[in-house]
Amino acid sequence: MPISYGFVEYTQPMLLSHGITSISDARVYWQRGQLDTWQKLQADGVLKMRASLGLWAYPEASDESQIRALKSFHNTTPNSLLEVDQIKFYMDGILVNTTAAMKEPYKVDWLKLD
């Protein structure tokens, strides 16, 4: 199944037409293939604006293995339109990503829904 380029066909041209040349995607679920999609946009030459990505830190994942993976994705290559230079994590406790303190276990883990 080909990647849907809704961003390339609609969003990116609209942003560029208003002079917006840089964006930040602050919640890239890299374990769900979203980083792969961004990298394919760049590899295919269709990314025409700077994009700074914040990779999602999965609360249930091992810190050691996750930090190793996140470091391997880091990319700040000069003149590249795509930068992987942020990590997104919450410390304030949010119900939807199961980080809020609860008196009883969560009934649904929203991070594992596909």
pTM (two decimals): 0.76
Return the pLDDT at 60: 81
| pLDDT tens string 12-40 | 999 999 999 999 999 999 999 999 999 99
Residue 92 in any domain: the answer is yes
Q: How confident is the model at residue 114 (pLDDT cuts 50, 70, 90)?
A: low
Structural domains in the chain (count): 1
Estimate to the nearest angstrom the gap between the alpha carbon of 2 and the chain centroid: 20
Does residue 112 or residue 10 have the better pLDDT? 10
Look at residues 42, 81, 73, 80 and name the one whose alpha carbon lies nearest to residue 57: 73
- Domain residues for the domain of 18 are 6-112
Return the pLDDT at 2: 53
- Distance between CA atoms of 34 and 65, rounded to whole angstroms? 19
Return the pLDDT at 48: 96
Asked whether residue 3 carries a pLDDT value surpassing 70, the answer given is no
Asked whether residue 69 carries a pLDDT value surpassing 60, the answer given is yes
Return the pLDDT at 4: 58
Residue 1 in any domain: the answer is no
| pLDDT tens string 76-112 | 999 999 999 999 876 777 777 777 888 888 888 776 7
